[in-house]
Amino acid sequence: MIKRILKAAVIGVGNIGRHHARVYAGLDGVQLAAVVDIDKYMAQRLADKYRCSFYADYIKMIREEKPDLVTIAVPTSLHKTIAIDLISRRIPILIEKPIADSTKAARDIIAKARTKRSIVAIGHIERYNPPIQRLREFLKQGRFGKIISISTKRVGVYPPQITDVDVLIDLAVHDIDVCNFLLAGKPYSVYARAGKALNSHRYDYADIFLNYRSVDVVLQVNWITPVKVRELTLTGTNAYAELNYMHQTLKIYNKGHGEEDDIINVEEIGLRREEPLKLELQNFADQVKGRNADIVTAPEGLLALQIALAAIKSHEQRKIIKIR
All domains in the chain, ordered by first residue: 6-125+278-296 (3.40.50.720), 127-274+306-322 (3.30.360.10)
Give the pLDDT confidence of 50-72 residue by residue, as tens digits.
999 999 999 999 999 999 999 99
Q: What is the mean pLDDT of the chain?
A: 95
Q: Which pLDDT score, from 0 to 100, does residue 165 have?
A: 83
Q: 203 CB contacts (<8 Å, ≥6 apart)?
A: 166, 167, 168, 194, 195, 196, 312, 315
Q: Is 31 helix (H, G, I), strand (E, B) or coil?
A: strand
pLDDT attached to residue 292:
83
Pairwise pLDDT comparison (256 vs 207), residue with the higher score:
207
- Is a pLDDT exceeding 70 seen at residue 259? no
Mean pLDDT of 73-79: 95
Q: What is the pLDDT of residue 1?
A: 46
Least-confidence region, from 27-36, 104-113, 213-222, 260-269 = 260-269
Report pLDDT for 174: 97
What does the pLDDT read at residue 261? 55
Q: Report the share of the chain in percent with pLDDT over 90.
A: 90
State the pTM of this model: 0.94
Q: What is the DSSP string of 121-165?
A: EEE-GGGGSHHHHHHHHHHHHTTT-SEEEEEEEEE-S--TT--SS
Look at 4-8, 115-119, 181-185, 248-252 and tell me which has the smallest mean pLDDT: 4-8
Sheet holding 205-211, edge to edge: 265-268, 249-254, 239-244, 229-236, 147-155, 216-222, 205-211, 189-195, 321-322
150-161 residue pLDDT tens: 999 999 998 877
pLDDT value, residue 273 = 96
CB 9, CB 65: distance < 8 Å: yes
Residues in the chain: 324
Q: What is the mean pLDDT of residues 5-23?
A: 97
Confidence of residue 262 (pLDDT cuts 50, 70, 90): low
Pairing of strands 249-254, 265-268: antiparallel
Cis peptide before 98 (omega within 30 of 0): yes
Q: What pLDDT is stored for residue 308 in this prediction?
A: 98
H or E segment to which residue 34 belongs: strand 30-36
As a whole number of angstroms, the distance between CA 250 and CA 229 comes to: 15
**Given a cut of 50, is residue 254 above it in pLDDT?**
yes
What stretches of the chain show up as alpha helix (H) in DSSP? 17-26, 40-50, 58-65, 79-88, 103-116, 130-141, 167, 173-183, 276-288, 298-317
